[in-house]
Amino acid sequence: MTDSSKILEELNDRSREVFRRVVEGYLDTGDPVGSRTLTRTLNEKVSAATVRNVMQDLEFLGLLDSPHISAGRIPTQLGLRMFVDGLLEVGDLDRDDQEKIDATMGNNSTDVGTMLDRVSTALSGVTQGASLVLAPKHEAPIKHIEFVSLGVDRALVVLVFADGHVENRLFTPPPGQTPSSLREAANFLNAVAEGRTLSELRSAVREEIKNRRQEIDTLARDLIENGFALWAEEGDQNERLIVRGRANLLGTEEEEQDLDRIRTLFDDLERKRDIADFLELAEQGDGVRIFIGSENKLFSLSGSSLVVSPYMNADRKIVGAVGVIGPKRLNYGRIVPIVDYTAQLVGKLISDRG
């Protein structure tokens, strides 16, 4: 049992209702909730002084906070977590929201990337947050690999798969790479790549490098490691992490008052340096997961919340994820079923198309 669930169980009915009303009021308006406002909405008829005493007790427990001396209360991160875990009422998916998401499937395009881009755009529009869709990796066996130098600080790796699929990935090569190191890296990889998927090759390369460390030039080894560690640029047809709706994160007064934190979030989204961590977040549990503020290691500096769910292929293997990021006062009860439905829809489409 978590600390927050223990606290919730120890609250009496009056404290629990006051806490719930404060959190719901904050999520609805973004403003602190005062005792006079609560006395008009509580089921139990009590004085404003009694409500203030209850709110002070909840603040002592670390569930509420006072942004100003004479203002009402807002939930802390611990309070939001306790509310989400124990008091959140998740509604049914709104029909209008469902229709907007379903509409992205109306085009019978066989390009999964195009479809996922439409899904991400629709998800952003429906939730008024920033949407994130992690596309599945191409897991067919590799047929051939080639490195092409595009300049001193730019190179291209061409991946040809056994099913005819071709991917081109830009990356920054290690300093001092030469045409011979490019050829050596490609020859080395092609020698161990046959019949292996990209994930399998990555593991095999690490083992080969360990066993043959003295046989391979240092630059080529760095080139191999760098060539597979980076992902495609935004807009590329092989883009894995699709982010849409960044501007929605500036739509509330709460975020506009803290532009530095929003810039931090944008930087994180632009760099996309933690794609693997995004999928790891989704893989740590079944269904929809909610990360509030600093709980979310991807966007912890921005203080945002992330609602994320994995999706599976036909073999019931998690291959990607969809999510929505926004302020901590997200309408979690509405966002959760939207993310859940979208993840199931994407999983079905991926499974149907193999």
Please give the tally of structural domains in the chain: 3
Q: At 151, is the secondary structure helix, strand, or coil?
A: strand
What pLDDT score does 230 carry? 38
What pLDDT score does 301 carry? 58
Give residue-wise pLDDT tens across range 143-181.
888 888 887 777 888 888 887 777 777 777 777 777 788
What pLDDT score does 271 carry? 53
- Could you give the count of Cα atoms lying within 13 Å of 117 in the half-sphere of its Cβ? 13
Per-residue pLDDT, averaged over 31-54, amounts to 84
pLDDT at 338 over 90: yes
Residues 220 and 324 in one domain: no
Per-residue pLDDT, averaged over 277-293, amounts to 71
Residues 124 and 260 in one domain: yes
Residues 129 and 8 in one domain: no
CA distances from 182 to 11, 66, 95, 145, 229 (A): 65, 60, 54, 11, 16
Distance CA 50, CA 343 (A): 45
What pLDDT score does 232 carry? 37
CA distances from 348 to 103, 155, 354 (A): 15, 36, 10
Residues 216 and 156 in one domain: yes
CA 9 to chain centre: 31
Q: Which domain holds residue 151?
A: 142-234
Residues 40 and 122 in one domain: no
Q: Please say whether the dihedral angle defined by the alpha carbons of residues 44, 48, 53 and 55, taken in this order, is positive or negative.
A: positive
CATH code assigned at 161:
3.30.390
Contacts of 41 (CB under 8 A, 6+ apart): 21
Of 201, 234, 267, which residue constitutes the final position of a domain?
A: 234
Local structure of residue 174 (DSSP, 8 states): P
Residues 282 and 327 in one domain: yes
Q: Which of 34-48, 95-109, 261-275, 317-331 has the lowest mean pLDDT?
A: 261-275
What pLDDT score does 191 carry? 83
Give residue-wise pLDDT tens across range 118-144.
888 889 889 888 888 887 766 678 888
What pLDDT score does 182 carry? 81
CATH code assigned at 65:
1.10.10.10
Give residue-wise pLDDT tens across range 189-236.
888 887 888 777 777 777 766 666 555 555 565 665 555 433 334 444
Nearest to 162 by CA among 189, 141, 190, 136: 141
pLDDT at 324 over 50: yes
Residue 332 or residue 242, greater confidence? 332
Quick one: what percent of the chain has pLDDT higher than 70? 71
Residue 268 pLDDT level (bands cut at 50, 70, 90): low
Of 234, 259, 289, which residue constitutes the final position of a domain?
A: 234
Residues 121 and 266 in one domain: yes
pLDDT at 243 over 60: yes
Residues 308 and 163 in one domain: no
What pLDDT score does 166 carry? 79
What pLDDT score does 44 carry? 74
Residue 111 pLDDT level (bands cut at 50, 70, 90): low
Length of the chain, in residues: 354
Of 211, 234, 257, which residue constitutes the final position of a domain?
A: 234
Q: At 336, is the secondary structure helix, strand, or coil?
A: helix
Mean of all residue pLDDT scores within the chain: 76
Residue 297 or residue 79, greater confidence? 79
CATH code assigned at 325:
3.30.450.40
Residues 261 and 133 in one domain: yes
Distance CA 334, CA 4 (A): 23
Per-residue pLDDT, averaged over 58-75, amounts to 84
CA distances from 85 to 1, 20, 129 (A): 11, 12, 22
Residues 263 and 114 in one domain: yes
Residue 40 or residue 21, greater confidence? 21
Local structure of residue 327 (DSSP, 8 states): -
Residues 102 and 79 in one domain: no
Residues 193 and 323 in one domain: no
**In terms of DSSP bridges, do strands 241-244 and 289-291 run parallel, antiparallel, or are they unpaired?**
unpaired
pLDDT at 304 over 70: yes
Q: Which of 145-149, 259-263, 316-320, 337-341 has the lowest mean pLDDT?
A: 259-263
